[in-house]
């Protein structure tokens, strides 16, 4: 049975989705259903617990696990504060740490992320840190108590695909203690399929779905892509040949020797 377990919770879908950039909050509900996703991230900075119509949480189907994120945090301290507020306002124990100290490229600050992860994991949070792919930082996050590692494929919102392939592949190969979720940059279903073929445990997709002309259909497309990529990975794809070759110019002589 091909199971994905994060923080002790089992997920049937390996596609995680987001809630930002949508044309309306109602679309989020359609996307959640069409994607068959079971985990959805939401920026606490956007959560308006007060008003009914404006509260984004009302549009998220109940069977989805809420993954509040610390978008807007500039350092560990702010991320920790936002995480605690998320839990206090009933958003559960999952938390995606997002510490951005550079708003031009929106690249995560790994050092601050590690600090926040350590503190929050000790407080019982199920911590899923968003990171710039780096093997040593990934190991440090595991040691700090992360429940999953979320390296970026390319800058957030860029839809550029997995430009960090070499390094994320190394992280996938080397980090076996916790699931690896490719987050950010996945621009099209084929990118998601590729991430899964590489052996990622899951992907998180937001902009590519939210900013497409038909978010519901795009969500469905990603659902199939993630399934296809996972199935391909499990089926152990054949080795890629450099070129077809009948003769063995370098080792042919071996057939002549006894």
Partner 1 sequence: MSFSKIVERYTPEVIAEMSAQVTAEQVLEAIGKETLSEYDFLALLSPAAADYLEPMAERARKLTLQHFGRSVLLYTPMYIANHCANKCVYCSFNTANDIARMQLTMEEIEAEAKAIRAEGFKHILILTGEDRHKTPVSYIVDAVKVLKKYFECISVEIYPLLEEEYRQVIEAGVSGLTIYQETYDKERYLSLHPKGPKRNYENRLNTPEYGARAGMNFVSIGALLGLSEGVFDAFMTGLHGDYLQRHYPSVEYGLSLPRMRPHIGAFQDFTPIGDRFFVQILLAYKLFLPSMSINISTRELPSFREHLIPIGANNISAGVSTQVGGHTTTEASSDPQFEIADGRSLEEMKRVIKNLGYQPILKNWSGDF
- The binding site for partner 1 (CB under 8 A) comprises 20-25, 44-48, 51, 54, 72-75, 78, 81-82, 85, 100-106, 157-159, 207, 210-211
Instruction: Output 105 or 174, the one with its CB closest to partner 1.
Output: 105
- Residue number, 71 or 117, with CB nearest to partner 1: 71
Verify whether residue 227 is a known catalytic residue: no
Are 91 and 68 a contacting pair, CB within 8 Å? yes
Q: How far is the CB of 105 from partner 1 (least distance, A)?
A: 8
CB 31, min distance to partner 1, A: 13
What 25-29 contacts at long range (C-beta under 8 Å, 24+ apart), as own/partner pairs, is 25/56, 25/58, 25/59, 26/59, 27/215, 27/216, 28/56, 28/59, 28/60, 29/59, 29/60, 29/61
Report how far apart, in Å, the C-alpha atoms of 98 and of each of 28, 43, 44, 156 are: 21, 10, 11, 11
| Beta pairing partners, 41 | 67
Please report how close the Cβ of residue 101 comes to partner 1 at its closest, in angstroms: 4
The active-site residue out of 21, 25, 58, 96 is 96
Nearer to partner 1, 46 or 227 (CB): 46
The catalytic residue positions are 96
């Amino acid at each position: 049975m091909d199971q994905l377990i994060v923080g002790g919770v089992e997920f049937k879908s390996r596609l995680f989705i987001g809630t930002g950039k949508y044309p309306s909050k109602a679309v989020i509900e359609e996307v959640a259903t069409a994607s068959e996703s079971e985990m959805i991230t939401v920026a606490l900075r956007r959560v308006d617990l007060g008003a009914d119509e404006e509260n984004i949480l009302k549009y998220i189907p109940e069977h989805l696990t809420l993954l509040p994120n610390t978008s807007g945090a500039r350092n560990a301290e702010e991320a920790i504060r936002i995480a605690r507020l998320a839990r206090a306002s009933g958003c559960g124990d999952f938390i995606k740490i997002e510490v951005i100290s550079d708003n031009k490229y929106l690249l995560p600050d790994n050092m601050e992320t590690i600090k926040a992860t350590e503190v929050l994991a000790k407080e019982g949070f199920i911590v899923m840190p968003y990171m710039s792919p780096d093997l040593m930082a990934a190991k440090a996050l595991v040691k700090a108590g992360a429940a999953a590692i979320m390296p970026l494929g390319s800058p957030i919102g860029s839809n550029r695909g997995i430009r960090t392939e070499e390094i994320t592949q190394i992280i996938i190969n080397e980090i076996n203690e916790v699931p690896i979720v490719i987050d950010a940059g996945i621009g099209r279903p084929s990118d998601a399929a590729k991430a899964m073929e590489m052996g990622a445990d899951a992907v998180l997709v937001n902009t590519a779905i939210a900013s497409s002309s038909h978010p519901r259909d795009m969500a469905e497309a990603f659902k199939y892509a993630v399934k296809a990529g996972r199935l391909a990975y499990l089926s152990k794809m054949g080795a890629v040949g450099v070129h077809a070759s009948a003769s063995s110019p370098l080792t042919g002589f071996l057939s002549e020797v006894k």
